[in-house]
Amino acid sequence: KQEVTQIPAALSVPEGENLVLNCSFTDSAIYNLQWFRQDPGKGLTSLLLIQSSQREQTSGRLNASLDKSSGRSTLYIAASQPGDSATYLCAGSITQGGSEKLVFGKGTKLTVNP
């Protein structure tokens, strides 16, 4: 069974701090890794997709890395802002029954305090 684990479950930091969110997966069948943010009562917003041939992706203050050999991905947020407060989810792509599916972690709830 594919499992995706996110640590920590919750994180509270002061504004301006750099932080790292962790995502680990047990199944080498996971090939792509995608990071999302979810605001309360909303859908998911895609942040970064790291495809299997890539090791990292960057978008603005966000940098995500993928190490398939160790089954880990990290999301680095630089100079955090209160607007970054949300739940961050990572999801790995697998092939199952001829379809591509996402296996989600339970998320890290981030609070950035002004």
Partner 1 sequence: GAVVSQHPSRVICKSGTSVKIECRSLDFQATTMFWYRQFPKQSLMLMATSNEGSKATYEQGVEKDKFLINHASLTLSTLTVTSAHPEDSSFYICSAKSWGTEAFFGQGTRLTVV
* 83: contact with partner 1 by CB under 8 A: no
Instruction: Give the separation between CA 62 and CA 69, rounded to whole angstroms.
Output: 22
* 46: contact with partner 1 by CB under 8 A: yes
The separation between CA 50 and the C-alpha centre of its own chain, rounded to angstroms, equals 10
Look at the chain and count its residues.
114
Nearer to partner 1, 34 or 80 (CB): 34
* 19: contact with partner 1 by CB under 8 A: no
Min dist. Cβ of residue 112 to partner 1 (A):
19
Instruction: Find the distance separating the first CA and the last CA of the chain, reported in whole Å.
Output: 41
Three-state DSSP state, 114: coil
Contacts to partner 1 by CB under 8 A: 32, 34, 36, 41-46, 49, 51, 89, 91, 93, 97, 99-102, 104-107
